[in-house]
Amino acid sequence: MLDFADVPRVDLTIDGADAIDDRLYAVKGAGGAMLREKVVAAASDRMVVIADGSKHGSRIGGVPVPVEILPFARASVLAALGEGATLRLREGDPYVTDNGNWIADCHLDLADPLTTAAWLDALPGALGHGLFLREVDGAYIAHGGVVSRLERDAPSR
């Protein structure tokens, strides 16, 4: 197996999602690795999501959006994220990502996901988030024994 730090490009990334919609906007990160997953997706020529029908809807929402935060900035980031944000805990302690950071699970207004993502991208101390809005190129959704295929009409990245 290769160390990703030594891999400049990836042909294809296949991964799951916590939620995905018809526009191929996805929420990822329930497993806590969304920052690394986003780095891999950005280095990929193509990213495909595989999900069951319970995770698909006409619009994303209904699941918390994870935000990876610098522990040093915990108080200010949580304050900026508002009452809908909670620090993810494991056995009473902050959940620590593979990068040594913490995660806040956030119930955010996703009526305009692009604006929400831009706001999160600009928030000092927020290192990454689980909104994948331009990264996903295609999806396979299994529902009731039938698999549907979704494709992005035009390149988005």
Q: Which of 37, 83, 91, 151 is catalytic?
A: 37
The yes-or-no answer on residue 37 being catalytic is yes
**Distance (Å, whole) CA 26 – CA 21:** 7
Residues with a catalytic annotation lie at 37
